[in-house]
Amino acid sequence: MQTSVLLENLMQALQCLPGVGPKSSQRMAFHLLQRDRRGGLNLANVLSQAMDEIGHCIDCNTFTESTQCHICASVKRQSNKTLCIVETPADIHAIEQTGQFSGRYFVLMGHLSPLDGIGPKELGLDKLAKRLIEEEITEVILATNPTIEGEVTANYIAQICLECDVTASRIAHGIPVGGDLEMVDSTTLSHSFVGRTKILNN
């Protein structure tokens, strides 16, 4: 028997979060009710605002509540004529944390997948081609996922770059830093041999 319908609803609603099942949702609901009602209310407000207001950046497609995201709007970023192509906004987050890249991004919001009806138009590749020419981009870094679909998408965009006379490069595949060579799968290992770089050049 339930003690409260609203509590059951809360447990149910929490399960829309990835990785949250019946047990975790119960733990979360009781935690919020017993110890952190203010945090729960704050989460409710921010969540409702975010779901309503966050749309896509007019230039790069990433999530933002403004017309243009902070990165696209940055004058310093605009002076760098490199464009990095990623599949999702989460990838931008990951790349930004490295501090390695100071150009701008273009988010595909997916990858080419003809069976699911996702073609070049759905990924906004016409918009991308326009940007390449209009903004005088000098290099496109293809940072799509290292999956079959990601590779196909990267190759397709490389073709567009060729037509627009823009250099296209792919991020390196190889063994992860700190990884154990014998634990790395053979495809990755063979990629690391193909993509080897010279050291101590004389």
Question: Which residues contact a copy of itself by CB under 8 A?
Answer: 1-7, 9-10, 12-14, 16-19, 24, 26-34, 36-37, 39-54, 57, 62-66, 69-71, 74, 77, 88-90, 92-93, 96, 109
Q: Considering beta carbons, is residue 98 or 202 the nearer one to a copy of itself?
A: 98
Q: How far is the CB of 187 from a copy of itself (least distance, A)?
A: 26
- For the record, the structure tokens of 79 come out as 């002076």
- Parallel, antiparallel or unpaired: strands 55-56 and 63-64: antiparallel
Euclidean distance between CA atoms 37 and 11, whole angstroms: 15
**In which region does residue 68 sit, left (phi positive, over 0), alpha (psi from -120 to 50) or beta (all else)?**
beta
Closest CA to 91 of 70, 118, 109, 68: 109
Q: Considering beta carbons, is residue 32 or 168 the nearer one to a copy of itself?
A: 32
Q: How far is the CB of 41 from a copy of itself (least distance, A)?
A: 5
Question: Going by C-beta distance under 8 Å and a sequence separation of 6 or more, which residues neighbour residue 115?
Answer: none
Q: How far is the CB of 184 from a copy of itself (least distance, A)?
A: 23
Q: How far is the CB of 158 from a copy of itself (least distance, A)?
A: 25
